[in-house]
Amino acid sequence: MKRELTFAVLFLLALVARPAAAQTCTLTDTAMNFGTYTGTLLNGTSNGTVTCGGSWNIPLNAGTGAGASETIRKMTGPGGAELSYEVFQDAARTINWGNTSGTELTGTGNANITFYGQILAGQYVAPGTYTDTLSTDTTNFSVSVTVVKDCGVTATNLAFGTYTGALVDSTSTISVTCTDTTTYNVGLSAGLATGATVTTRSMQNGSALLHYSLFSNSGYTTNWGNTIGANTVAGTGNGAVQPLTVYGQVPAGQHPTPGSYADTITVSVTY
């Protein structure tokens, strides 16, 4: 898979609502499936039916994940890794669903209800299956999700400043964020100049060219291209941002037409 400059959650409920008085109340619910998670905020819903002859309230505990709370619940996956999610009472996803006074869903008589789930954005946990168990006073329900490997990338511009014919060095930073344990390779394109290759890049000013190079080491000796296994930069994701430095150099001795020169490089992350 290549991304240039996904996880499904299954929310199964079969609960018994807590009766506020001495009557039998039941709750049935459909599955909640979030589909595919790509690291951005993702919502899901589940529709339930309460059958009750009087008033009722439905509590949800924090779950079984280490460090979980009623507001930030945790599914547990490979090697004890955790994935955060939330459950709300309202469609705007502003009213948390907990099990303390004021956070339980309450009502009277038969009713249709909706559980509003949300997966928090920016999580790059290890790929695999994640599960949790949430409880009411009388029963449990399971939450599960499959996380697939994913990567994101951003980059800063590389500015050489003023060129007077003497050698000029400059740097840029590529920030890669990949799911934990995901191996990846970062490649840089040849740029937009006519005839350019990854070893002969050029900035342009109209038809005029100013040659430059991109390297992966501070010694400016290892060319950075886009052939995996030959001239890309490899890494292993840890769920956090990993910065990579691009070392740019304009060789001395060039005398092109004065003016502003520019090029555009595409960053490819293959994982």
DSSP 200: B
Between residues 13 and 145, the one the model is more confident about = 145
DSSP 207: T
Residue linked to tokens 């559980």 = 115
Mean pLDDT of the chain: 89
Residue linked to tokens 């939330």 = 86
Give me the mean pLDDT over the 59-81 stretch. 94
* Tens-place pLDDT, residues 30-41: 777 877 787 878
What is the spatial distance between Cα 211 and Cα 188, in angstroms, rounded to a whole number? 16
What is the spatial distance between Cα 52 and Cα 61, in angstroms, rounded to a whole number? 22
Cut 0.75: pTM above it: yes
Between residues 243 and 18, the one the model is more confident about = 243
Identify the band that residue 14 occupies on the pLDDT scale cut at 50, 70 and 90: very low
Among 119-123, 152-156, 256-260, which is the least confidently predicted range? 119-123
Tokens coding 67: 């460090």
**Which DSSP string corresponds to 64-131?**
SSTT--SSSEEEE-GGG-EEEEEEESSTTS-SB--SSTTTSEEEESSEEEEEEEEEPSS--PPSEEEE
Residue linked to tokens 């993702």 = 42
Identify the band that residue 12 occupies on the pLDDT scale cut at 50, 70 and 90: very low
- Cβ–Cβ < 8 Å for 62, 53: no
Residue linked to tokens 């590389």 = 158
Between residues 138 and 185, the one the model is more confident about = 185
Give me the mean pLDDT over the 224-252 stretch. 98
Strand 73-76: give its sheet, edge to edge.
Answer: 26-29, 42-51, 111-119, 82-88, 73-76, 128-135, 140-147, 8-11, 32-33
Residue 19 above 90 pLDDT? no
Tokens coding 154: 């951003």
Res 1: pLDDT: 65
Res 238: pLDDT: 96
Among 73-77, 121-125, 140-144, 202-206, which is the least confidently predicted range? 140-144
Identify the band that residue 4 occupies on the pLDDT scale cut at 50, 70 and 90: low
Q: Within 13 Å, how many C-alpha atoms sit on residue 163's CB side?
A: 26
Res 265: pLDDT: 98
DSSP 230: T
Taken in order of first residue, the domains within the chain and their CATH numbers are 6-147 (2.60.40), 151-270 (2.60.40.1090)
Question: 118 pairs with which residues across the strands?
Answer: 43, 86
Closest CA to 55 of 106, 15, 105, 97: 106
Residue 55 CB neighbours (<10 A): 14
